[in-house]
């Protein structure tokens, strides 16, 4: 069952869903809009392959962490965006991550992503720039989460590598910058 605005307000008010910082304006008809943080990671062009089984790779070879109040996303550029909100889900609620339609209409692409039941942390997603440069601003609502209540709580709530992440989180094979 998809949670509507009344359900979401109740779940947030009672603490079943945690969103910090919270603002009533982010609750929409059938989901919650999350805002862009002041930190992003730009993927660099590199010729050295990333071994997905490696540990503690140097992120500086593959990523540029950028801090600011605004960011230019160039055509075809791949970027990891991060939410300013820290969320925490119970073991019977998951969420679908969608790029807000305004950004999709600008040609920005984002792969399908979900937030597992039991997850907590800032959310990091990848986007790919469209046909022309776009300036994004920290604090803008860029991501839409659609929450779904599961029929029963999951047996194994999320406890993976990204649990509790704060800030832009690179793939697990990279040491923290």
Out of 64, 120, 126, 155, which one is annotated catalytic? 126
Does any domain span residue 137? Answer: yes
Does any domain span residue 145? Answer: yes
Does any domain span residue 22? Answer: yes
Confidence check: pLDDT of 36 > 90: yes
pLDDT tens-digit profile of 67-78?
999 999 999 999
Confidence check: pLDDT of 59 > 80: yes
Number of domains in the chain: 1
Instruction: Let me know: does 116 contact 93? Beta carbons within 8 Å.
Output: no
Does any domain span residue 158? Answer: no
Residue 55 — very low, low, confident or very high, per pLDDT cuts 50/70/90? confident
Give φ, ψ of 104 to 5 degrees.
-65, -35
**CATH number of domain containing 17:** 2.70.40.10
Does any domain span residue 15? Answer: yes
pLDDT tens-digit profile of 82-135?
999 999 999 999 999 999 999 999 999 999 999 999 999 999 999 999 999 999
Q: What is the pLDDT of residue 63?
A: 95
| Domain of 122, in residue numbers | 5-45+56-149
d(CA 135, CA 142): 12
**b/e per residue 75-111 (b: at least 16 CB within 10 A):** eeeebbbbbbbbbebbbbbbbebbbbeebeeeebebe
CA dihedral for 15, 94, 115, 84, sign (positive or negative): negative
Beta-carbon neighbour count of residue 39 at 10 Å?
A: 20
Confidence check: pLDDT of 177 > 70: no
d(CA 57, CA 116): 26
Does any domain span residue 12? Answer: yes
pLDDT tens-digit profile of 132-175?
999 999 999 999 999 999 999 999 999 998 999 999 999 988 87
Does any domain span residue 16? Answer: yes
Does any domain span residue 104? Answer: yes
pLDDT tens-digit profile of 15-29?
999 999 999 999 999
Told to judge if 25 belongs to the known catalytic residues of this protein, a careful annotator would answer no
């Amino acid at each position: 069952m998809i949670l509507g605005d009344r359900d979401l307000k109740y779940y947030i008010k009672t603490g079943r869903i945690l969103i910090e910082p919270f603002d009533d304006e982010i609750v929409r008809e059938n989901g919650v809009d999350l805002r862009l943080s002041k930190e992003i990671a730009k993927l660099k062009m590199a010729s050295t392959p990333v071994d997905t089984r490696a540990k503690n790779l140097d992120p500086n070879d593959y990523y540029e962490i950028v801090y600011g109040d605004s960011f230019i996303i160039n055509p075809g550029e791949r970027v990891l965006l991060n939410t300013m909100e820290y969320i925490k889900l119970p073991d019977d609620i998951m969420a679908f991550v969608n790029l807000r339609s305004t950004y999709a209409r600008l040609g920005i692409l984002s792969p399908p992503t979900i937030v597992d039941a039991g997850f907590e942390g800032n959310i990091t997603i990848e986007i790919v720039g469209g046909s022309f440069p776009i300036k994004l601003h920290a604090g803008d609502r860029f991501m839409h989460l659609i929450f779904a209540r599961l029929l029963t709580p999951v047996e194994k709530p999320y406890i993976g590598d990204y649990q509790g992440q704060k800030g832009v989180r690179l793939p697990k094979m990279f040491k923290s910058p």
